Structure 1
């Protein structure tokens, strides 16, 4: 994991590129997360200062949107759909299984830094509920057994 001193120049470059845009906070946060994989908590002070906002305002936006994370992600990100179609096909049992197998909750990363677990509220794969993604790949009709098989494939990748 990098310390913020090594990341600060990247954050400052993103701030310089976007700070004059109307509504620049979200593009800045996306730019930082897209580049670093997360928004380092130490960056909040630089963002707030650059945009003349309080640190609480910046933190409030980061914590409001589930997309943003303030810890480094794992090598692979698992997203479990929590929309109505998937719920009706027992995604809650899949969610419980995933949390148990991975040993983490939503917005956390496994101790070995291999997997992060995130909720998502529709993958557009409703006909094949319940659905998940691992990284950018969508999987449908996911059972606990299928979940375990998918994890095994990605763990070695």
Structure 2
């Protein structure tokens, strides 16, 4: 089966399972993203038809919520905290460093597909600001140097 065929099959299965739920759009979008890591553009017409919505309405919801991706994520997703505590402890400077080091902005993926960068608005690690999360691991008191060390270690173990 081609990737497109596999994508279509996965999307159709999720839509069929969830389309009759009240407020089905968000559960369907979450289901697709959970299964595929993102919401492929080619899934929008299927979702729209199944829910009697316009493609613009479906796309509007996808683009409104930062959680939803419309491109495949990197192998690792870096969540960088942007909450007040982290900002007051050097978060903006760290953000500049991370973006420069990776060569991407928020909601983007490195050209090699290794890392995606996403903002998050509190990791619950305020006493150890600034904080980030990679996979299930949360890091505190992150500096430019400690970020580089974590990234280099992550790349080496991949």
**What TM-score does the superposition give when structure 2 sets the normalisation length?**
0.96
Aligned to 2:17: 17
Aligned to 1:39: 39
**Aligned-partner Cα distance in 2 for 1:99–1:33:** 24
33-42 or 3-12, which deviates more: 3-12
Structure 1 position 95 matched with structure 2 position 91:
no
The 4+ residue runs of structure 1 with deviation greater than 2 A are: 2-6
Structure 2's unaligned 5+ residue stretches are none
Q: CA RMSD in A?
A: 1.0
The structure carrying a bigger helix percent of its residues is: 2
- Residue 105 of structure 1 aligns to a residue whose secondary structure is coil
Aligned to 2:145: 145
**What TM-score does the superposition give when structure 1 sets the normalisation length?**
0.97
1:90-129 alignment, distance < 5 Å: 90-129=90-129
Aligned to 1:69: 69
Q: 1:21-77 CA deviation, whole Å, 9 max, x = no partner? A: 001111100100000000001101100011001111111111111110000000000
Alpha-carbon shift at residue 155 of structure 1 (Å): 1.0
**Aligned-partner Cα distance in 1 for 2:26–2:137:** 26
Alpha-carbon shift at residue 3 of structure 1 (Å): 4.1
Structure 1's unaligned 5+ residue stretches are none
Alpha-carbon shift at residue 4 of structure 1 (Å): 2.9
**Aligned-partner Cα distance in 1 for 2:109–2:3:** 18
